[in-house]
Chains A and B, each alone.
Chain A
Amino acid sequence: MALSETTSLPVPADSVASNGFDIVATYRRFLQEDPDMTMPVAAIESLVVLLSQTEPTTASELMDILAKAVAELKKGVKNSISLSAGCDMFQRFVLRNIQEYGDWEACRRHLVKNGGLFLERAKASRYKIAELGLPFIQDDDTILIHSHSRAVTELLLLAARRHIRFSVFVTESRPTEEGLSSAKTLRDHGIPVRVIVDGAVGWAIQKVDKVFVGAEGVAESGGIINRVGTYQIAVLAKDSNKPLYVVAESHKFVRLFPLSPFDLPDESPAASTFTTEQEDDEIQSSPLLDFTSDNLITALITDIGVLTSSGVSEELIKMWYD
Chain B
Amino acid sequence: MLAAGAHISKEKDLNAHIEAFVAQIKRRQIQGSYNVALATSQLLLRVVSAARWTHVDQLVTQIKVLGKRLQSAQPRELACGNIIRRVLALIREESEDTNDSESGDGAINSPLITSMFSLLSTNDEYGPNRQSQSLCDGTGRSIKKDLKPYIIEGIQELIDELRSIDESIASMGVEMIHENETILTPTPNSRTVLKFLLRTAQKRKFTVLVVEVFPNDVEKTHEFALKLAEAGIETTVITDAMVYSIMGRVGKVILGTHAVLANGGLLASAGAAMICQCANVHRTPVVVCTGLYKLSPMYPFDIESLIEVGDTGKVLEFEDGSLVDKVNVVNPLYDYVPPESVDLCITNMGGYSPNFMYRLVLDHYRQEDTTL
Contact = CB atoms under 8 A, between A and B. Distances in A.
A and B touch in the complex (CB under 8 A): yes
Interface of A: 44, 89-90, 93, 96-97, 100-101, 103, 106-107, 109-111, 114, 117-118, 121-122, 125, 135-136, 138, 250-251, 253, 299, 303-311, 314-316, 318-319, 321
B119 A89 contact: yes
Contacts, number: 85
A107 to B, nearest CB: 7
Interface string B335-372: 00001000000000000010110110000000100000
Nearest to A222: B355
Task: Give the one of A96, A118, A305 with max B CB within 10 A.
Answer: A305
Nearest to B115: A304
B112 A121 contact: no
Nearest to B121: A93
A311 B358 contact: yes
Contacts of B302: 135, 138
A315 B115 contact: yes
Contacts of B112: 318, 321
A305 B120 contact: no
Interface of B: prevailing SS: loop
Contacts of A121: 118-119
Contacts of B120: 44, 89-90, 93, 111, 118
Q: Which 3 A-B pairs have the closest CB atoms?
A: A318-B114, A135-B301, A110-B126
Contacts of B126: 106-107, 109-110
Given A93-B120, A106-B126, A110-B122, A250 B301 contact: no
B119 A122 contact: yes
A110 B127 CA distance: 9
Nearest to A134: B301
A319 B116 contact: yes
Given A89-B120, A101-B127, A103-B128, A308 B358 contact: yes
B262 interface: yes
Nearest to A253: B116
B263 interface: yes
Contacts of A44: 119-120
26 contacts: A44-B119, A89-B119, A93-B120, A100-B107, A106-B126, A110-B126, A118-B120, A121-B119, A122-B119, A135-B301, A138-B302, A299-B263, A303-B118, A306-B262, A306-B263, A307-B358, A308-B356, A308-B358, A310-B355, A310-B356, A311-B358, A315-B115, A315-B116, A319-B114, A319-B116, A321-B112
Given A100-B127, A318-B112, 18 more contacts: A89-B119, A93-B120, A93-B121, A106-B127, A110-B126, A135-B299, A136-B301, A251-B116, A253-B116, A304-B118, A306-B263, A308-B356, A314-B359, A315-B114, A318-B113, A319-B114, A319-B117, A321-B112
Nearest to B120: A93
B363 to A, nearest CB: 12
A114 B122 contact: yes
A138 B358 CA distance: 23
A117 B115 contact: no
Contact of B119 (A125, A305, A309): A125
B271 interface: no
A304 B356 CA distance: 16
A89 B117 CA distance: 7
A170 B299 CA distance: 27
A306 B359 CA distance: 12
Contacts of A100: 107, 127
Task: Give the one of B113, B114, B367 with max A CB within 10 A.
Answer: B114
Contacts of B115: 250, 304, 315
B110 to A, nearest CB: 8
B264 interface: yes
Nearest to A109: B126
Contacts of A250: 115-116, 118-119
